[in-house]
Amino acid sequence: MLRLVGPTHGVAISPPVLLAPMQGITDRIFRDLVAPLGGVGAAVSEFVRITVAPTSRKVVRRELGPPIGIPVGLQLMTPDENHLAASVANAAAAGAAWIDLNFGCPAPVVFSKCAGSALLAHPERIARIVATAVGATGLPVTAKMRAGISSPAHLRELVCAAAEAGAAAVTLHARLRITSYDEPATWAWLAEAKSALTHCARPVPLIGNGGVECAADVARMRAATGVDAVMIGRAALADPFIFRAAAGGAPPTIAEAVGWALRYLDELGGGGPKAKQLVRYWRCAGMLDEATRSALLRGPADAIRPWFAAQASGRETVNTVSPPPTVQTTVPSR
């Protein structure tokens, strides 16, 4: 169990495996469908960005949605302390289980605004933002960050800055801001961060994130790095049952996998960019071979639900997706 301890309130997370905040993925629809599968100890929302005014209770309630049986933390992203205290207070009043602060988003548009991972160059600003949030609520406040912008040289300073400012836990994504998701995560940085947090002036738990590709990786990460909990990101979209399997449950059958995908696609309205996103990552139950994945990604988004429905009905699937006609074209070099 992971315990997040705030000034007056705490959150118990059991099992200590969390669904990561991922912009464009972990919205209310996704969380609502993953949580009942089992093995999910808690989840964190997509980030809510603080701009020219405090984040309202209405926005927080819309982001959190109805209770889903597990604690859901609200992630806030801000470049400074402006409007932060009021936003945190509104989040607490609207039902957030805890507050998570984003110091890791690598997106260029975020970085250019001196938010997200841009703050990794300023541990003193991270400390001020954490301290302001902690001072505004009795809830736990956590900090999610990467190991650095272009180097992990200041990793120990960064995690300790957040902890000593009052964070209840630190989540470390074991990549740099410049590291693509196609490159492997560096779990050695998790071990270094864990050591730093154990020996800093205010020890707090470390949640490890990055490089979890299958259920067995959860135990492997904990054994290899000493992290107190594991946060799963894109692998949850690839296989929503990964939490159940990591907790010792059975891997999904094809029928379960198809049923989940159809419910998700129905909630999305049957197609659109998120349907293509699902296909891009989907590895659940080994039901999607690479040739079919390629055909689905090249074809129209509204062909995706019928393909999954065909698997549910047991029909032959080899020719259910017709690739687009071949067109001779010249692609300019980049």
Q: What is the pLDDT along the chain (334 residues), one digit of tens a residue?
A: 999 999 999 999 999 999 999 998 999 999 999 999 999 999 999 999 999 999 999 999 999 999 999 999 999 999 999 999 999 999 999 999 999 999 988 888 888 788 888 999 999 999 999 999 999 999 999 999 999 999 999 999 999 999 999 999 999 999 999 998 889 999 999 999 999 999 999 999 999 999 999 999 999 999 999 999 999 999 999 999 999 999 999 999 999 999 999 999 999 998 889 999 999 999 999 999 999 999 999 999 999 999 999 998 764 343 344 433 333 333 333 3
In order of start, what are the domains of the chain with their CATH numbers? 2-246 (3.20.20.70), 254-313 (no CATH)
Q: Which of 105, 160, 200, 284 is catalytic?
A: 105
| Distance between CA atoms of residues 91 and 87, nearest Å | 6
Residue 114 a catalytic site member: no
Work out the angle between the directed axes of helices 273-281 and 290-298 (0-180°, nearest 10). Answer: 170
- Whole-model pTM: value is 0.91
Burial 244-278 (b: 16+ CB within 10 A, else e): bbbbeeebbeeebbbebbbebbeebeebeebbbbb
Cis omega (within 30 of 0) on the bond before 324? no
Confirm if 13 and 41 have CB atoms less than 8 A apart.
Answer: yes
